[in-house]
Amino acid sequence: MAEKVALVTGGGSGIGKAAAILLAKQGVAVGVLGRTQTKIDAVVSEISDAGGQALALQADVGLEDEMHGAVGHLVKAFGRLDVVVANAGINGTWAPIDDLKPEEWDRTIDVNLRGTYLTLHAAVPHLKRTGGGSIIIISSINGTRTFTTPGATAYVATKAAQVAIMQQLSLELAHHRIRVNAICPGAIDTNIDASTSIRHENETAIPVIWPEGQVPITGGAPGRSEDVANLIAFLASERSGHITGTPIWIDGAQGLLR
């Protein structure tokens, strides 16, 4: 992985932070992109203190000019781009469809789906110039394997769409030697719940008695951000050179219960 350059969106916390730190440990120069300067600066400092290379990129994934500027800055600093981890996302508002407001729908679509599009729109030309690379989109078990989250219509729409984008682009970009895959995590110890607003859950929830602990392999405990980071690092490397167009669920079998 030495001499490779990666862009990690949503890199200031959770899965993005864990991925940025692990990739840097493996010799990758990492662009840590996020909206909050203090958070991405802290991740860059942690990487630098450990002897790695990283660059803080403050940008909103939903804004075209900011994304093109951030990706251009990364490539100018390190000379190339090999890996893109499209991780930035929010849970948004979960509410019954007749209560979910258009602006709440638009906000989730803007971050999760437009953000994924703009990340790839800005990054793919640089991957082509590099002569290949790996794109890893962070989707979810919600919208791809399970549909039991009350009121999460906008969220599951974006997660399902991310997998469709991944499959479409895996063919479109194959002749450029760019691999495209999606990771679909279950419950992971991130702070994404802070971006969740839930209303009238009782109107949309389907009563189900789960087995004790929803994550069988851990006795109910959520997975770690580092578990997903390990998979990201594998998909970013040449060890996964024949894997493209594939959604990979990392949920400890949680989705099979739900």
**Does residue 117 carry a catalytic annotation?**
no
- Residue 57 has what pLDDT? 98
Catalytic residue among 120, 155, 165, 170: 155
Tally of domains within the chain = 1
- Say whether pLDDT at 148 is over 90: no
pTM for the full predicted model: 0.91
Expressed as residue numbers, the domain containing 13 is 5-257
Q: What is the pLDDT of residues 31-80, one digit of tens each?
A: 999 999 999 999 999 999 999 999 999 999 999 999 999 999 999 999 99
Residue 181's CATH number: 3.40.50.720
Residue 21 near residue 13 (C-beta atoms within 8 A): no
- Say whether pLDDT at 214 is over 80: no
